[in-house]
């Protein structure tokens, strides 16, 4: 970080001033002396950036700095200190580039100059002249020392018309000489996006963040200087777009690390005649959706791809057009933003596919709480498949079981990607069975997370509610998504729900079991959809049967600790507990969740009685009690009892041995 | 060479002890302060730069329930020091009582290979790998909360959950494309 004592010197040179080389040489010397005097060891620009006015110094100084033969050391020093105030006129850069080749400038200075151009790239007011000399810049690629930086610069300037076979050949030639260097691969991958037929080599999918970040100290000094002057980086904010108010005011403080304002490649305001003559319409000039539709085929993307994230109209356009080069550039910008670290003003637009790649990279290094609502929002949009990415999706969530609120959110939103996937299945080249396997994997994984989460949180009711919600949706997958999915909740979810102390959990579990009973029992399905394609494994059926038997035994038959159930506790232990009639302790009367209702009912039945003996409900008022209980809103219980339990009521009032279906 | 043994001593009543190992001794301080704020159990935080631990403290040191290696990804030394310290732990620790915490993972100056190496190490030892944002107080609080969840399980405060069971789900796994060439 630059120290608080930043030396800022304003220099204004009027363009009309006669520029004799001696005068400029004098200015150079003057500057260098100033630099030398202010600081004993002028090593790096953080100590003494010189704040220069755009038009004057840059325009004339820049090429002269390079040309001046007055020793490279002061020249280098001055170049290092050159920080533009607002805008760098592209003419200055073009002229400087031209001079690069002409005069005998040492290589280190050339490298420094290109690095400088890369640092201030976003401040260059227009890029069309730079693009015009694309070929010229490309010719520098053969210079080994300059190669990485030239590649980076070309990456920022390339457009479809610049990709030619001879350029691709040149890059491949260089690759064979220098090896598979990352900067060459990046440029080739961009070429491949524009013209896939020209670039036939395969690019590994695991492309990391981008070019080496060798300009970050420079960039931070740039930001600091501009901050200290309270200036904004980009020159035009389009009022027509719905950029959030908050982000605009914050942009004034954190210039470079924010979303840049949407601006056109050519910054000048075009005349109305020019617009019609020009072939492309910059995105910034569109003010409404209707206009965008009219000019859809002529829209030109801005130079700063990140600026699109703030404008909904721009994102709609991108999503619709699906231009790969634009998406690639946006990914690159997002990657840089991720590493720059300041994401506090990130505005994520949902439904935008470019955020997928960014999201995977981010989840890789996520601590679980930074920008959590936004990230979880984005997660609802990413596809569950393909499986390599799905794997990553899961691994990032392994830590969610240790994070209760996050787990709730995850469960709440986890079905949204499935819905989206289902709709666009045909576009994704994936078979139904492959999709079903992925969803099955997701459900199993959530089951594990849920079991662990419940254990860690002591069977928290809210968490249980979200989990049961999730399993309710699993029941509906066939109806909603056409997926024949049969997955039971794991024991770690089933038993805590059945033995929960709040009635809502028991009710919801009963509803889930009722749905499965209906689904799996032939003859009971109301839906016309046939299940002949459904294959349910024996294991699933066994599990289902166990659950059903246990549940009915528990709630109805008063045979909770029956030998064949999962919950097998030894008789001696049960006797030791001194609980009277332990086998009835979880039925509809004694279950901790329903005791309150039982007592209530008892008092309604026998208002005068002081001694509350809920066992007396078991006789004649039993069916009234059940009706009373179900009318409290426990539809799940009602459905479950009706579908799974058939009762035989004999002539007497006593309830005979009931059997389950 | 004396190794740290997870079961050599008796646990303290309602106490959980955690050892934060960081070669730079930077993040561990703020993390420790956040950890001791826990009220439901008494959290005993011990700080160390690296292993082996000083012998003179052997008697007074409580039973360490969880060892956390804090690795600063921007420094190679941090990773090497953590790696070298591993051999001073009894194997019993690697059943869910060791955890890796990584800081500065999002920084651009971190070479990709280092994060991969940390991942491989954590995956081979079946330990969880947590990421922490140390710059912000919210990040520190969040890191402390996650550590507390693992610590409570490691110290036996969660019924029916052993540290091994927890680590089975939270342990670091390698993505399938980790061996593919990548650029940076």
Contact A318, A337 (CB under 8 A): no
Q: What is the ipTM of this complex?
A: 0.86
Q: A154 vs A133, A267, A326, A352, A424, CA distance in Å? A: 11, 21, 15, 27, 36
Q: A203 CA to chain B: closest CA distance, Å?
A: 10
Nearest to B175 among A336, A391, A402 (CB): A391
d(C-alpha A398, C-alpha B146), whole Å = 12
What are the chain B neighbours of A364 within 8 Å (beta carbons)?
105, 115
pLDDT recorded at residue A561: 78
Q: Which residues contact A284 (CB under 8 A, 6 or more apart)?
A: A236, A238, A241, A262, A263, A264, A302
Residues facing B128 on adjacent strands: B171
Question: Hey, how many other C-beta atoms are within 10 angstroms of the C-beta on A221?
Answer: 23
Contact B93, B62 (CB under 8 A): no
pLDDT in tens, A114-129: 887 887 777 777 788 8
Q: B180 CA to chain A: closest CA distance, Å?
A: 7
Which residue has better confidence, A50 or A405? A405
Which of A360, A402, A445 to probe the B interface (max B CBs under 10 A)? A402
Which of A183, A206, A218 to probe the B interface (max B CBs under 10 A)? A206
d(C-alpha A519, C-alpha A526), whole Å = 9
pLDDT recorded at residue B56: 87
pLDDT recorded at residue A564: 65
Could you tell me whether strands B129-132 and B15-21 are parallel, antiparallel, or unpaired per DSSP bridges? Answer: unpaired
| pLDDT for B57 beyond 80 | yes
pLDDT recorded at residue A147: 86
Task: Quote the pTM value.
Answer: 0.64
d(C-alpha A507, C-alpha A199), whole Å = 61
Average pLDDT in chain B: 88
Region A248-270: mean pLDDT is: 38
| B182 to A204: CB separation less than 8 angstroms, yes or no | yes
d(C-alpha A14, C-alpha A27), whole Å = 13
d(C-alpha A529, C-alpha A154), whole Å = 58
Q: How many residue pairs bridge chain A and chain B with CB atoms within 8 Å of each other?
A: 105
d(C-alpha B121, C-alpha B98), whole Å = 12
pLDDT recorded at residue B35: 94
Q: A222 CA to chain B: closest CA distance, Å?
A: 18
Region A312-341: mean pLDDT is: 66
pLDDT recorded at residue A181: 79
Question: Hey, how many other C-beta atoms are within 10 angstroms of the C-beta on A632?
Answer: 13
Which DSSP string corresponds to A176-234? HHH-S-HHHHHHHHHHHHH-TTT--S---S---S-S----HHHHHHHHHHHHHTT--SS
| B166 to A206: CB separation less than 8 angstroms, yes or no | no
| A367 to B161: CB separation less than 8 angstroms, yes or no | no
Q: Which residues contact A115 (CB under 8 A, 6 or more apart)?
A: A149, A214, A215, A218
Q: At what angle do helices A635-644 and A503-520 cross, to 10 degrees?
A: 40
Q: Which residues contact A326 (CB under 8 A, 6 or more apart)?
A: A301, A305, A318
Name the band, by pLDDT with cuts 50, 70 and 90, for residue A176.
confident
The H-or-E segment that residue A65 falls in is helix A62-67
What are the chain A neighbours of B153 within 8 Å (beta carbons)?
456
| pLDDT for B7 beyond 50 | yes
The H-or-E segment that residue B130 falls in is strand B129-132
Q: A642 vs A484, A510, A627, CA distance in Å? A: 25, 11, 12
| A180 to B181: CB separation less than 8 angstroms, yes or no | yes
Nearest CA in chain B to A214: B109
| pLDDT for B166 beyond 80 | yes
In 3D, which of A485, A508, A488, A389 has the Cα closest to residue A447?
A488
Percent of chain A with pLDDT over 90: 6
Phi and psi for A282 in degrees, rounded to 5?
-70, 145
Which residue has better confidence, A163 or A214? A163
What are the chain B neighbours of A152 within 8 Å (beta carbons)?
none
pLDDT in tens, A74-104: 556 666 666 665 667 777 778 777 777 766 6
Q: Which residues contact A154 (CB under 8 A, 6 or more apart)?
A: A134, A137, A138, A141, A187
């Amino acid at each position: 970080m630059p120290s608080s004592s930043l030396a800022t010197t304003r220099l204004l040179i009027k363009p009309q001033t006669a520029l004799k080389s001696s005068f400029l040489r004098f200015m150079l010397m003057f500057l260098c002396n100033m630099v030398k005097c202010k600081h004993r060891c002028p090593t790096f620009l953080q100590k003494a950036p010189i704040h220069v006015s755009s038009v004057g110094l840059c325009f004339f100084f820049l090429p002269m700095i390079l040309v001046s033969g007055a020793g490279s050391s002061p020249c280098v020093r001055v170049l290092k200190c050159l920080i533009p105030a607002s805008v760098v006129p592209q003419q200055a850069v073009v002229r400087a580039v031209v001079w690069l080749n002409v005069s005998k400038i040492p290589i280190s200075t050339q490298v420094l100059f290109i690095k400088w151009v890369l640092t201030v790239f976003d401040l260059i007011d227009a890029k069309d002249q730079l693009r015009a000399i694309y070929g010229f810049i490309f010719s520098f690629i053969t210079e080994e020392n300059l190669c990485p930086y030239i590649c980076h610069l070309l990456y920022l300037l390339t457009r479809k018309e610049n990709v030619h076979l001879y350029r691709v050949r040149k890059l491949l030639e260089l690759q064979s000489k220098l090896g598979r260097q990352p900067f060459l691969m990046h440029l080739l991958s961009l070429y491949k996006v524009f013209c896939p037929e020209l670039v036939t080599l395969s690019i590994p999918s695991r492309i990391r963040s981008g070019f080496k970040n060798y300009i970050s100290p420079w960039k931070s000094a740039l930001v600091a200087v501009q901050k200290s002057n309270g200036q904004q980086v980009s020159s035009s904010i389009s009022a027509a777009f719905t950029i959030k108010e908050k982000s605009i005011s914050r942009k004034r403080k954190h210039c470079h690390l924010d979303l840049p304002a949407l601006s056109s490649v050519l910054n000048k305001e075009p005349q109305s005649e020019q617009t019609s003559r020009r072939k492309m319409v910059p995105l910034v000039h569109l003010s409404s959706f209707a206009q965008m539709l009219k000019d859809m085929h002529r829209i030109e993307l801005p130079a700063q791809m990140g600026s699109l994230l703030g404008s909904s109209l721009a994102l709609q356009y991108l999503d619709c057009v699906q231009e790969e080069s634009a998406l690639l550039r946006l990914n690159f910008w997002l990657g840089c933003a991720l590493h720059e670290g300041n994401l506090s003003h990130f505005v994520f637009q949902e439904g935008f596919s470019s955020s997928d790649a960014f999201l995977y990279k981010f989840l890789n290094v996520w601590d679980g709480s930074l920008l959590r609502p936004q990230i979880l929002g984005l997660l609802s949009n990413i596809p569950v498949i393909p499986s390599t990415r799905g794997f990553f999706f899961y691994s990032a969530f392994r830590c969610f079981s240790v994070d209760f609120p996050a787990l709730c959110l995850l469960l709440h939103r986890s079905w949204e990607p499935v819905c989206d996937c289902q709709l666009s299945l045909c576009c994704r080249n994936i078979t139904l069975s492959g999709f079903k396997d992925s969803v099955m994997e997701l459900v199993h994984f959530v089951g594990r997370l849920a079991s662990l989460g419940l254990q860690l949180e002591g069977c928290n009711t809210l968490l249980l509610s979200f989990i049961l919600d999730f399993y309710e949706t699993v029941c509906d997958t066939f109806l909603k998504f056409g997926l024949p999915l049969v997955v039971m909740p794991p024991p770690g979810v089933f038993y805590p729900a059945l033995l929960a102390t709040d009635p809502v959990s028991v009710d919801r579990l009963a509803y889930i079991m009722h749905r499965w009973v209906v689904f799996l029992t032939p003859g009971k399905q109301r839906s016309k959809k046939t299940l002949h394609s459904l294959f349910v494994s024996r294991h699933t059926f066994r599990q289902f049967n166990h659950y059903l038997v246990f549940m009915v035994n528990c709630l109805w038959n008063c045979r909770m600790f029956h030998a064949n159930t999962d919950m097998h506790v030894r008789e001696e232990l049960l006797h030791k507990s001194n609980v009277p009639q332990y086998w009835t302790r979880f039925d509809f009367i004694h279950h901790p969740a329903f005791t309150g209702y039982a007592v209530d009912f008892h008092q309604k039945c026998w208002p005068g009685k002081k001694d509350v003996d809920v066992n007396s409900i078991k006789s004649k008022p039993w069916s009234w009690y059940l009706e009373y209980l179900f009318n409290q809103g426990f539809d799940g219980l009602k459905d479950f009892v009706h579908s799974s339990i058939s009762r035989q009521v004999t002539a007497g009032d006593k309830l005979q041995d009931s059997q389950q279906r | 060479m004396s190794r740290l043994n997870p079961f050599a001593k008796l646990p303290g009543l309602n106490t959980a002890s955690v050892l934060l190992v960081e070669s730079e001794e930077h993040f561990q301080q703020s993390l420790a302060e956040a950890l001791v704020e826990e009220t439901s159990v008494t959290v005993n935080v011990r700080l160390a730069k690296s292993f082996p631990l000083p012998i003179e403290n052997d008697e007074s040191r409580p039973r360490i329930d969880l060892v956390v290696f804090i690795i600063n990804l921007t420094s190679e030394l941090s990773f090497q020091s953590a790696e070298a310290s591993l051999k001073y732990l009894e194997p019993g620790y690697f059943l869910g009582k060791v955890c890796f915490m990584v800081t500065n993972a999002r920084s651009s100056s971190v070479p990709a290979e280092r994060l991969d190496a940390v991942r491989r190490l954590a995956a081979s030892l079946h330990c969880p790998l947590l990421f922490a944002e140390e710059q912000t107080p919210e990040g520190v609080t969040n890191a402390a909360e996650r550590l507390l969840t693992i610590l409570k399980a490691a110290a036996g405060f969660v019924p029916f959950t052993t540290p091994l069971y927890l680590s089975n789900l939270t342990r670091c796994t390698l993505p399938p494309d980790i061996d593919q060439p990548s650029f940076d």
